[in-house]
Amino acid sequence: MSEGPAAGGQASSAPLMGHASEPTLFELSQPGRRSWQLRTTGIPEWGIEDLVPAEHRRVAPVALAEVSERDLVGHFTRLSHRQYSVDLGAYPLGSCTMKYNPKVCDAVAALPGLARVHPAAPAELCQGWLALLVELDAVLCAVTGMAACTLQPAAGAAGELTGLLLMRAYHEARGERRTRVVIPDSAHGTNPASVALGGFEVTTVPSDERGCVDMAALLGVLGPDVAGIMLTNPNTLGLFEEEIVEMAGAVHEVGGLLYYDGANLNAILGVVRPGDMGFDIVHMNLHKTFATPHGGGGPGAGPVAVSSRLADFLPGPRPVRRTPSGGGTPVAPGSVTSGTAPGEYGWSWPAHSIGRVHSWHGNALVLARALAYISVHGGDGLRRVAERAVLNANWLRVRLAGVLDVAYDRPCMHEVVFSAAGLKKRTGASALDVGKALLGEGFHSPTVYFPLVTDEALMVEPTETESLQTLEALARACERIVAAAEGGEDLHAQPTSTPVGRVDEAQAARSLVATFDARPEEPRE
Ligand X SMILES: *Cc1c(COP(=O)(O)O)cnc(C)c1O
Give the CA-trace dihedral at 368, 370, 373, 377, to 10 degrees: -120
Give one word for 195, left, alpha or beta, with left for phi > 0 and alpha for psi -120 to 50.
Answer: alpha
Containing 438, the helix (H) or strand (E) segment is helix 431-440
Looking at the Cβ atoms of 156 and 303, the one nearer to ligand X is: 156
Closest separation between CB of residue 216 and ligand X, Å? Answer: 25
State how far the Cα of 122 lies from the Cα of 129, in Å rounded to an integer: 11
Closest separation between CB of residue 158 and ligand X, Å? Answer: 7
Across the chain, how many H-helices and E-strands are there?
17, 13
Closest separation between CB of residue 189 and ligand X, Å? Answer: 8
Amino acid at 151: L
User: Where are any strands of DSSP class E within 361-486?
Assistant: 405-406, 416-419, 447-448, 457-460
Closest separation between CB of residue 461 and ligand X, Å? Answer: 9
Looking at the Cβ atoms of 98 and 141, the one nearer to ligand X is: 98
**How, if at all, do strands 148-150 and 304-306 pair?**
antiparallel
Give 320's strand partners: 346
Looking at the Cβ atoms of 99 and 321, the one nearer to ligand X is: 99
Q: Which residues, other chains included, contact 188 with Cβ-Cβ below 8 Å and sequence gap of 6+? A: 95, 232, 236, 261, 263
Closest separation between CB of residue 435 and ligand X, Å? Answer: 18
In eight-state DSSP terms, residue 336 is B
**How, if at all, do strands 318-321 and 345-348 pair?**
antiparallel
Looking at the Cβ atoms of 137 and 261, the one nearer to ligand X is: 261
DSSP alpha helix (H) spans, 225-325? 244-253, 274-277, 286-289
Long-range contacts from 216-223, C-beta under 8 angstroms, 24+ separation: 218/182, 218/247, 218/250, 219/250, 221/182, 222/182, 222/250, 222/251, 222/253, 222/254, 222/256, 223/180, 223/254
Looking at the Cβ atoms of 156 and 333, the one nearer to ligand X is: 156
Grouping H, G, I as helix, E, B as strand and the rest as coil, residue 260 is: strand
Closest separation between CB of residue 133 and ligand X, Å? Answer: 20
Closest separation between CB of residue 262 and ligand X, Å? Answer: 8
Return residues touching ligand X (CB under 6 A).
95, 155-157, 188, 190, 232, 236, 261, 263-264, 285, 300, 302
Looking at the Cβ atoms of 273 and 414, the one nearer to ligand X is: 414
Looking at the Cβ atoms of 191 and 494, the one nearer to ligand X is: 191
SS3 string, 467-498, reads: CHHHHHHHHHHHHHHHHHHHCCCCHHHCCCCC
Q: Which residues, other chains included, contact 106 with Cβ-Cβ below 8 Å and sequence gap of 6+? A: 369
Closest separation between CB of residue 401 and ligand X, Å? Answer: 25
Cα distances (Å, whole numbers) of residue 249 to 228, 236, 274? 12, 22, 14
CA angle 511, 514, 520 (to 5 degrees): 110
State how far the Cα of 203 lies from the Cα of 315, in Å rounded to an integer: 27
State how far the Cα of 50 lies from the Cα of 417, in Å rounded to an integer: 65
Q: Of all residues in this chain, which one has the CB nearest to ligand X in the complex?
A: 156
Looking at the Cβ atoms of 10 and 194, the one nearer to ligand X is: 194
Q: Which residues, other chains included, contact 467 with Cβ-Cβ below 8 Å and sequence gap of 6+? A: none
State how far the Cα of 204 lies from the Cα of 452, in Å rounded to an integer: 13
Closest separation between CB of residue 269 and ligand X, Å? Answer: 15
Looking at the Cβ atoms of 123 and 205, the one nearer to ligand X is: 205
Closest separation between CB of residue 259 and ligand X, Å? Answer: 11
Looking at the Cβ atoms of 148 and 157, the one nearer to ligand X is: 157
Looking at the Cβ atoms of 273 and 288, the one nearer to ligand X is: 288
Closest separation between CB of residue 253 and ligand X, Å? Answer: 26
Looking at the Cβ atoms of 198 and 302, the one nearer to ligand X is: 302
Closest separation between CB of residue 102 and ligand X, Å? Answer: 20
